[in-house]
Each structure stands twice: as C-alpha cells, then as structure tokens.
Amino acid sequence: MARILITGCAGFIGYHTAHRLLTERFAVTGIDNLNDYYDVGLKKARLGRLEVHPGFQFQVMDVADRSAVAKLFESGQFEKVIHLAAQVGPRYSIVNPHAYVDSNLVGFINILEGCRHTKVRHLVYASSSSVYGANPKQPFSVADPVDHPVSLYAATKKANELMAYSYAHLYRIPTTGLRFFTVYGPWGRPDMAPIIFTRAILEGRPLDVYNFGKMRRDFTYIDDIIEGMRRVLDRIPVAPPGDGQDKPWGGGAPVALYNIGNNSPVELMDFIRAIESATGKKAQLNLMPAQPGDVPATWADIDDLQRDVGFRPHTPLSEGIPRFVAWFREYYRI
C-alpha cells in the first residue's frame, strides 16, 4: 500500500489525521520534532495511541533540517503528503519570531523540495484563518485579498500559500491549502482557549478574557476538520483550462485552497457559557484589553469546500464542548 507522510503528527490536528488514516488501513509515516512549545507529555500521549497501529512509523525530525527531510523523502517514496508541522500561535510570534521563520518558512521549502524531487502526487498543507487579518468583510472567502496580516504567524501562512503556488506552477505538483478556523476538541493544544478556559473554570481561578470578551470565532470541532481534510486528500487538483485567471488563487496551476470552518461564528462569551454548562461551574471573568496579533472576528465561507467535496462542518458547540470537557476531565484527572 502506498505510504502517506504526515508532518507534525504528534500535534493536535496531526494526531487526529494520522489516527483517521490508520483506522482506514493506510500506511502512515509520521514526523514531529516534539518541541517544548507546550507539554511534550501530551504529544507523547498522542503518539502512544498511534503506535499501537502496525501501519504507523514514526521519526523524531525537525522539518527545518534540510538533509534529514531530503533523506526521508528519498527513502519513503510517499504517494501523498499532509504537512501540518508548524510553529503555531499568533501571540507567540511576537515573542519568538525566529521560530516561525525556521519552522514555517524553511521547513515548508524543505517539504516542497521533497515533493518536487520524489514526484509526490498531492501535497495538502495547513494554512490558517489568521491570514485574513482584520478583514472587515465577512464571511471570509478564499477570493478575498489577504495582504495585511496582523501577526508574523499569519504572514508565514500566507507565504506558504504563495510558495505552494509557485511550486505547483513550476513543477506541476498538485497542492491544496486548508485555512483552518479555531479548531477545538479532545487532545487539543493547552495554549488554546478551550483548555485554558476549562482549566480555570474547574480550578475556580479568574479567567483572562481579552478584548473585554468582544470577539467572535468560527469554532470548528476537530472531527469536522478531519472529515474535510480526508475528502480533500482524495481530490487531487488539476490545472484549469486556459490561464485560470478566473480562480481566486491565480493562473493555470494544479492548486486548490479551502476554508474549513463551522460557518457559524460564536460570541466568545457564549463559548464560555457552553463550557460553564458542560462543567457545571461558573467562570470568574477578568476582562482585559485586546492583545497584539488578535483579530476581532472570524467567519468561514465554505461554499467552495461543499461544492468540491460535498462537506460542510456541522458540529454545534452544544455537542462539541461536552465531548471536549469529558476528555479534559479524564486526561487531566480533574
């Protein structure tokens, strides 16, 4: 069976992606550098659940290591690649910008070069809703201009889209970019709002709420993200006839770009109330000004995703939050 490479496989989305493909009996090679941006123990716990599958192979590897990545592609002969490894988090990019250059830019060019030299059939890579910045037009569409990122993280993700397009154009590598919208669910990242909020509420500590709670997010449950990505993986883009200038991402190259979001933005205070309901405890709110790099609202236009792969994320908070809180209580024993 053809092998699929997943980078960042010990991460939140990477773990769920690998688990889905392994349950479908795909052969999966996973790599991750297991850095300490957040709890390495959580990453290893995710890996432990993948390593029970006989079709899974894992290597500790940094995508910024050019020679290691080149050797991996030469030996792996991967049919498809799902590139999820990245330095994440808009706020942290203010503190440590070089981490984003190393992982998100140098790492991505190494993946593109691997795909180029081994003739990978399809590269699917993670972009982010952060590329939209403070765009006042909503819902966000992939046809919208995204030339004003408000964080370095967002700028690197926009750069990834441009780099992918150039390789698709020059070397005919089919590439699909996915702009994820505020993903949450079991095995989520501890630096993101769901875990931060849930832990504070359960421990009876004040909860810092930025921009005085006046934010809206298109919260998207992890199972919806994985279903969308799984369908996209099988839809290998082809170059459109002619020059392709009618496409929002440019001329005649085998590229695609999709939003994956719930298409139903939620007020941050409603999100907190959903956690209160699932935990049975009231939050103590510490309302604070907005932080640099934050955007006031996100909302995904997913018409293209539905048209091309027949799927719309649909899990409401009323279902997703209780599932997440149940996992949180079990994993953290709270």
Out of 38, 92, 100, 153, which one is annotated catalytic? 153
3-state secondary structure 273-320: HHHHHHHCCCCEEEECCCCCCCCCECCECCHHHHHHHCCCCCCCHHHH
**CA distances (Å), origin 318, targets 70, 187, 201, 241, 314:** 45, 18, 18, 44, 11
CA–centroid distance for 197 within its chain: 20
Active site residue 125: no
Structure tokens at 48: 């432990």
Q: Which residues pair with 82 in a beta bridge?
A: 6, 124
138: three-class secondary structure by DSSP: coil
323: CB partners within 8 A, 6+ apart: 185, 186, 221
Cα gap 196→283, rounded to integer Å: 12
Cα gap 2→27, rounded to integer Å: 7
- The torsion region of residue 61 among left (phi > 0), alpha (psi -120 to 50) and beta comes to beta
Residue 330 phi/psi, 5-degree rounding, is -70, -45
Count CA atoms within 13 Å of residue 247 on its CB side: 20
Which residue, 289, 292, 259, is CA-closest to 150? Answer: 292
**CA distances (Å), origin 300, targets 10, 107, 230, 261:** 26, 27, 19, 5
Which residue, 235, 260, 272, is CA-closest to 314? Answer: 260
Q: Which residues are catalytic?
A: 153
